């Protein structure tokens, strides 16, 4: 795969700027922004809002401040707001501005929350909750459901016309929304599309923890992604390194899973995508999933051989909890570390499946105690009962304790009642 850094997509020809542009959705927690050029008169703003009596003045401030930052000339902006928060208003205004004139990059970014998450490579990723990238309302509470990861999607759930509004909204949400203890992942568009580079340019400055790269087919793809990521990280002067999660969802990708897994040091997990995969091989997606059984195992082996996590596809029937649990049990039995999730209600059942038993937790505690004792006594090897404790046993014990601890302290709304 070849690409160049000629980002023509980004720099629009001034002659092509329209007179009028619109962005946003007439939905709860969102707004519709319409902007148009005027002959003279500077910036004028007109506001309708479901919360005008309470936030009308503030909304106007946000719009005017944004337009100032975006170097607006003679323009009229009309806002129809339905309870959108500031970062959403800023995103929609910027999206319209980008269509109407060449704004000074990087646009108008909301103030970042003080709390910067520092996600770890080996954190649990039992659940990764997919959210469509152009729906601001659904993002606000997404961090409340205890999902290990939240995926803000710019790919399949966003129509081509909405790519710009979505990527700006995703950028602003990464900065302004508290996603709790969930890891923040952005699924960008495939490397082969013109969207890819723009996604990176816009989203990287907001420092997501991980980028999920769809339709990965070989090591070259990943290397190209990494190069571009480094380029945009430098440009944004990021101090942290964004991790990568290749999503394998084609026959070719499956066969190259091993090289994909080792193609970038930033890889933390390999993901499998069943929908695209079954379409690619010309099979129906079935409940029992025979058509993808081999593919899933190949990806899993490739991930594990490279020391990465292996993450299974989503279970798409949100009403069928028994089916979800059965599918999760099967995935766990094969060695997968997590499932994709398309509704918050799927999080808890999956976590229950992955939760270590009390027996496992107790044993893991003993293993760690024994190894600490041995280290204190200057011995390299510990024993527990008659069993020797070696490195893999310790690693497993640590993982179990981390999961158990995660269930009690890290995931906020523990809706389970284990410690009653």
Based on the shown chain and the rule CB under 8 A, indicate whether residue 358 belongs to the binding site for other proteins.
no
Q: Which of residues 129-188 bind other proteins (CB under 8 A)?
A: 140-141, 144-145
Is 237 in a helix, a strand, or coil?
A: coil
Is 197 in a helix, a strand, or coil?
A: helix
d(CA 31, CA 86): 11
Cα 205–Cα 211–Cα 214 angle in degrees, nearest 5: 135
Give 3-state DSSP helix, strand, coil % of the chain, rounded to 5.
45, 15, 40
d(CA 262, CA 279): 26
Residue located via tokens 């571009």: 228
Q: Which of residues 18-47 bind other proteins (CB under 8 A)?
A: 28-29
Rank residues 237 and 319 by Cβ distance to other proteins and give the closer one: 319
Rank residues 55 and 354 by Cβ distance to other proteins and give the closer one: 55
Least Å distance between CB 372 and other proteins?
A: 27
Residue located via tokens 């009690």: 408
Q: Select from 344, 350, 371, 400 the one that contacts other proteins (CB under 8 A).
A: 344
Least Å distance between CB 150 and other proteins?
A: 13
Least Å distance between CB 125 and other proteins?
A: 20
In order of 54, 101, 170, 177, 324, the CA distances from 337 in angstroms are: 47, 47, 26, 27, 15
Least Å distance between CB 108 and other proteins?
A: 17
Rank residues 290 and 417 by Cβ distance to other proteins and give the closer one: 417
Q: Select from 22, 34, 50, 301 the one that contacts other proteins (CB under 8 A).
A: 50
Rank residues 318 and 384 by Cβ distance to other proteins and give the closer one: 318
Rank residues 95 and 411 by Cβ distance to other proteins and give the closer one: 411
Based on the shown chain and the rule CB under 8 A, indicate whether residue 71 belongs to the binding site for other proteins.
no
Q: Which of residues 235-254 bind other proteins (CB under 8 A)?
A: none
d(CA 178, CA 116): 10
d(CA 302, CA 310): 9
In order of 296, 308, 309, the CA distances from 335 in angstroms are: 10, 12, 9
Based on the shown chain and the rule CB under 8 A, indicate whether residue 86 belongs to the binding site for other proteins.
yes
Per-residue contact track with other proteins, 320 to 339, x per CB under 8 A? Answer: --------------------
**What ranges make up the beta strands (E) of 199-272?**
210-213, 243-248, 269-272
Based on the shown chain and the rule CB under 8 A, indicate whether residue 112 belongs to the binding site for other proteins.
no
Q: Which two tokens stand for residue 51?
A: 């919360």
Where along the sequence are the contacts to other proteins (CB under 8 A)? 28-29, 50-51, 53-58, 82-86, 140-141, 144-145, 343-345, 408, 412-415, 417, 419-420
């Amino acid at each position: 795969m070849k690409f160049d850094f000629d980002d023509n997509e980004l720099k629009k020809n001034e002659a092509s700027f329209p007179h009028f542009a619109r962005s946003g959705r007439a939905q709860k927690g969102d707004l519709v922004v319409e902007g148009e050029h005027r002959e003279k008169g500077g910036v004028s703003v007109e506001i309708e809002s479901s919360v005008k009596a309470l936030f009308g003045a503030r909304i106007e401030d946000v719009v005017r401040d944004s337009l100032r930052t975006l170097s607006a000339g003679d323009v009229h902006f009309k806002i129809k707001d339905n309870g959108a928060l500031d970062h959403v208003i800023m995103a929609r205004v910027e999206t319209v501005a980008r269509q109407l004139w060449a704004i000074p990059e990087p646009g108008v970014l909301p103030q970042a929350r003080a709390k910067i998450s520092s996600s770890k490579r080996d954190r649990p990723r039992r659940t990764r909750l997919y959210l469509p990238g152009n729906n601001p309302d659904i993002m606000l509470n997404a961090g409340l459901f205890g999902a290990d990861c939240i995926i803000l999607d710019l790919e399949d759930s966003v129509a081509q016309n909405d790519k710009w509004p979505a990527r700006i909204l995703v950028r602003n949400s990464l900065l302004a929304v508290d996603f709790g203890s969930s890891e923040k992942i952005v699924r960008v568009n495939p490397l082969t599309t013109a969207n890819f580079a723009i996604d990176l340019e816009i989203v990287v400055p907001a420092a997501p923890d991980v980028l999920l790269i769809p339709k990965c087919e070989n090591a070259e793809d990943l290397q190209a992604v990494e190069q571009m990521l480094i380029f945009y990280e430098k440009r944004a002067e990021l101090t942290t390194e964004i991790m990568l999660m290749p999503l394998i969802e084609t026959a070719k990708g499956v066969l190259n899973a091993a090289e994909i897994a080792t193609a970038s040091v930033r890889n933390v997990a390999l993901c499998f995508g069943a929908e695209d995969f079954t379409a690619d091989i010309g099979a129906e997606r079935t409940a029992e999933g025979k058509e993808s059984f081999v593919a899933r195992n190949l990806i899993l082996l490739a991930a594990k051989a490279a020391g990465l996590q292996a993450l299974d596809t989503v279970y798409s029937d949100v009403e069928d909890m028994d089916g979800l649990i059965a599918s999760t049990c099967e995935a766990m039995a094969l060695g997968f570390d997590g499932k994709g999730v398309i509704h918050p209600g799927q999080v808890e059942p999956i976590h229950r499946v992955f939760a270590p038993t009390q027996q496992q937790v107790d044993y893991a505690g003993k293993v760690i105690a024994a190894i600490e004792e041995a280290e204190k006594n200057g011995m390299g090897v510990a024993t527990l009962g008659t069993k020797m404790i070696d490195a893999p046993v310790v690693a497993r014990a640590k993982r179990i304790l981390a999961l158990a601890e995660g269930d009690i302290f890290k995931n906020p709304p523990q809706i389970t009642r284990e410690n009653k």
